[in-house]
Amino acid sequence: MSLNLIRAVARAENNDDVHLGRLLLLLFEASNRNSRNKAIEGITKLAKLDFLLRYPNCLERALVAVNKNTELANVQSYERTTIEAKMIRFKYGPWDARYRRWLSLLASYDLITIEARGRTVYIEITSKGQEVAGQFSASPAYSDIHARSHLVIRMFGSMSATAIKDFVYRVFPELETMKWGEDILL
């Protein structure tokens, strides 16, 4: 592998726009589901849903755990061996320390709202965010992420924060034995 390729991957990983687009599509799909509450309840829940979206091979494992066909994830062969952005084992499981930054950026662009009610943070896409996400969803560059966002929300979006936390630890038990701050290599 060339050093130029590694540098290109690092630049892409450090580009907030890639992550903002992915999170916006996830929130877009959450807002389109048929339920009264269209917000995602909690940053930790968002991180668990994004974990499944960001790592298609993990989404396949999750689909197996709920007796669904892994072909639904439409994972391409190159995605199985690609250098993935790292996630870190944190107090509440798979986590990227940049979630608060990304959510703040999305809110500053008026693409989402963030509201604290008690001890829970509710994250909801705005009408402007819906418009931008709609444009992303129509773009071939985001087609896989859009389709997987829909799948993640359809399969796991109705789970409570606690239920999805328990599910992730059941399906990915190796996360429980890792030390805080350790890279997750799945």
Over residues 24-39, the pLDDT tens digits come to: 999 999 998 755 558 8
Phi/psi at 136 (5° precision):
-60, -45
Has residue 14 got a pLDDT over 70? no
* Predicted pLDDT at 29: 94
Apex 134 CA angle, 37 and 57, nearest 5: 80
Has residue 10 got a pLDDT over 70? no
Has residue 137 got a pLDDT over 60? yes
The larger pLDDT score, comparing residue 15 to residue 49, is at 49
Has residue 2 got a pLDDT over 70? no
Apex 70 CA angle, 67 and 76, nearest 5: 170
Distances in Å between the Cα of 140 and the Cα atoms of 21, 88, 130, 137 are: 13, 30, 18, 8
How much is the average pLDDT of 70-88? 66
Q: How confident is the model at residue 181 (pLDDT cuts 50, 70, 90)?
A: low
* Predicted pLDDT at 85: 39
